[in-house]
Amino acid sequence: AQSVTQLDSHVSVSEGTPVLLRCNYSSSYSPSLFWYVQHPNKGLQLLLKYTSAATLVKGINGFEAEFKKSETSFHLTKPSAHMSDAAEYFCVVSLYSGAGSYQLTFGKGTKLSVIP
Amino acid sequence: EAQVTQNPRYLITVTGKKLTVTCSQNMNHEYMSWYRQDPGLGLRQIYYSMNVEVTDKGDVPEGYKVSRKEKRNFPLILESPSPNQTSLYFCASKREVGVIYGYTFGSGTRLTVV
């Protein structure tokens, strides 16, 4: 079975300290992986995507993620948290579902709190 | 502006009263999909459509119907809503079925069924 697991439902960091949001995936094929962010009462915004090019992917707002095949991980990091980073983050895998179609499967989300 | 538009943004209804949430995209996208978002469960796919008149079930289709009579519209129909369908709903589209990324999401519809 193919799936995506976000290891923490809630992460709390102090402003100015590093952020680490963990994601592991399970896939029989080479996956395409994404991180989406959802700010309170807002829609979903794409942070970054991995589609089998460089394993270190840079996204918007200073976020990065590294694809590690040996660890089946795609953790999201940021060197220094800002108050505006407080949001819910979703790790997403795009899976081939047959008939030439790709579908998204979402993790359960990690809520990031940033303490002043 | 290229976008996916959902209406309404907020809806409170009573059990059993049929309702429709509309979704429209102006990008001539081939693929459209509906998700529901529940706390601690992430987003789960309800139905998707690979083109006009082509729809299929996602992971949680029970209690929902969809139609795709024209390319730009993909309404979500709840024939007899129940309280367990209280959720935040997102519509999404992408240019082609076979494309891995390039999804555009709507702003969401918060539905409460009492």
The β-bridge relationship of strands B31-38 and B10-13 is unpaired
CB A22 within 8 A of CB A28: no
pLDDT of residue B84: 97
Q: Which residue of chain B has the CA closest to A32?
A: B100
Question: Which residues face A40 on adjacent strands?
Answer: none
C-alpha span between A106 and A15 (Å, rounded): 27
What is the number of other CB atoms lying within 10 angstroms of the CB of residue B24?
A: 18
Model confidence at A95, pLDDT cuts 50, 70, 90, reads confident
Instruction: Give the total residue count for chain A.
Output: 116
What is the per-residue pLDDT across B80-102, written as a single tens digit (0 to 9) for each?
Answer: 999 999 999 999 999 887 777 78
CB A14 within 8 A of CB A115: yes
Nearest CB to B48 within list A9, A34, A103: A103
CB of B42 within 8 Å of any CB in chain A? yes
C-alpha span between B34 and B98 (Å, rounded): 18
What is the per-residue pLDDT across A27-73, written as a single tens digit (0 to 9) for each?
Answer: 777 788 999 999 988 889 999 998 877 889 999 999 999 999 899 99
CB A59 within 8 A of CB A36: no
